Structure 1
Amino acid sequence: MHLRPTLLLLAALHVGPAFGQQAVPDTLERRVAACTSCHGSPSAPAPLPSAGPNYYPRIAGKPAGYLYNQLQNFRAGRRQYPLMTYMVEHMSDDYLREIATWFSTQHVPAPVLARAGLPAGQLERGHELVMRGDATLKVPACIACHGQRLTGALPAIPGLLGLPRDYINAQFGAWRNGTRRAHAPDCMATIAGRLSLADVAAISGWLASEPVPDDATPAPDVPHPMPLECGSKVEQKRERP
């Protein structure tokens, strides 16, 4: 005898509680479990094995304004990553802001990354670009915007330490080819376009080789004046309803 689908569904609903099923608490921590499975959480700090070794960035402790901007960028197509777009495409601004604020208050230990196997001269070039920039290329120092300790700045500039080298390289590549964008003027796209591939490798190698300080909180404000006009600085304000 074959039961009709409706009867099967009713039977399943009827027997569910008998097996001691418990309701999952409706908390934001539960709702962002899909995020923390890749980006890490206090209870699950390691990335998924399928994601490759240490590719996904830690987002815990990043400025809420930066995280909110990036969630909006994925939703609007200014950043290209199908899984992220799928997750946020139907979320409201308020919900994205709530997620960003939650992650900004979390504290997940940064991974200890292996030092890049680059020649000493290339690592020194990376150090030079990060700390002093290159006036000939019109490339400002990373610390000019991302803070003297490279831990970011409020309200919307991210820290650069503790990011895997492959991730940093991928983001420079995305800025160069236009698959990662921000509101104009897009200062990072401008900088990426002025750097050679060797310079990008030097920067990513040096950054990924530096330890994250014990206190990785963002600076309370961005330096003034900033070396380049940057639309992402006011992106959060512009996007507010």
Structure 2
Amino acid sequence: MSRVRIGLLAAIGLMLAGTAGAQTRQSAPHALDSIEQRVLPCSACHGAEGRATRDGYYPRIAGKPAGYLFNQLQNFRDHRRVNAQMTYLAQRQPDAYLMEIAEHFARQDLPYPPPEAPRVAAAALARGEQLVHQGDTAQQLPACSRCHGERLTGVAPAVPGLLGLPYDYLAAQLGAWREGTRHAHQPDCMAVIAERLSADDIGAVAGWLAAQPMPADTHPAAAQAAPLPIDCGGLAPAIQRSAP
């Protein structure tokens, strides 16, 4: 075959390839900046619907109050919480963008997995139940249920639920507050409480919570049943608060 013929065939092939590519580009739908696309990076750790499994330290975010989720995105963006991936995703994003993501996951109403088998001894489980429902006046520890709701499913608009979370995540977050590596808007009520918890108490609370089944109504309570026992900056109207 002559060089001229080979060159001609190559040119025709390139032309046809270019035509096919143009047709593909014309027929392909335009990319849309939808909320479904915005939350795709979240699914890598939190699951496609925000209901993470019990692997590692990934919390469920589906169904959490929107104000709480918004606060946490702000905290990662503004370096009050430390996680390289979360900070990378949230950095330079405006509040309105973060609130849209928070509201998306807050709307997810999905079933919870069964609770974990107890990972602490019976005495620790009893201590955990006491701290969760009664607190400890000698250590100036209010009951967890005073803020997180009697059902421990959270309270709208900004208090998270404590059930349906893995032991590792609960223990890690309480430990991070106790050690000063996790922070929230001031006054940082959880930092105050965690500083009063011993390492054994953290294990007891995390162990008891992780082993509890979800109640029949898994949704956050609409409002607090009584005044909170401690001032908490994260409960200010989230949408009205600018970063730090």
Normalising TM by the smaller chain, what interval?
0.7 to 0.9
Query: For 2:59 and 2:137, how far apart are their aligned partners in 1?
Result: 30
1:73-152 matched pairs, under 5 angstroms: 73-152=75-154
Question: What's the CA shift for 1:149?
Answer: 0.1
CA distance in structure 1 between the partners assigned to 2:131 and 2:207 by the alignment: 12
Q: Which runs of 5+ in 1 are unaligned?
A: 1-10
1:194 aligns with 196
**Residue number in structure 2 paired with 1:15:** 21
Identity of aligned residues (%): 49
CA 1:129 to 1:24, structure 2 compared with 1: closer, same or farther past 3 Å?
same
Question: How many residues end up aligned between the 2 structures?
Answer: 226
Which residue matches 1:205? Answer: 207
Give the structure-2-normalised TM-score: 0.84
- Cα distance change of structure 1 residues 101 and 156 upon mapping to structure 2, 3 Å threshold: same
Once the two structures are TM-superposed, the CA of residue 30 in structure 1 deviates from its matched residue by 2.2
- Quote the offset at 1:126 in angstroms: 0.4
Identify unmatched segments of 5+ residues in structure 2: 1-16
Aligned equivalents of 1:27, 1:214: Cα separation in 2: 33
Distance apart, 1:105 and its partner CA: 0.4
Corresponding residue SS for 2:138: coil
Counterparts in 2 of 1:102 and 1:12: CA distance versus 1, 3 Å: farther
Query: Which deviates the most, 66-75 or 221-230?
Result: 221-230
Which of 16, 38, 41 in structure 1 is aligned with 2:45?
38
How many Å apart are 1:21 and its aligned residue?
5.4
Distance 2:202 2:78 in 1: 27
How far residue 14 of structure 1 moved from its aligned partner, in angstroms, is: 7.8
Aligned to 1:174: 176
Counterpart of 2:155 in structure 1 is 153
RMSD of aligned residue pairs (Cα, Å):
2.4
**2:67 corresponds to:** 65
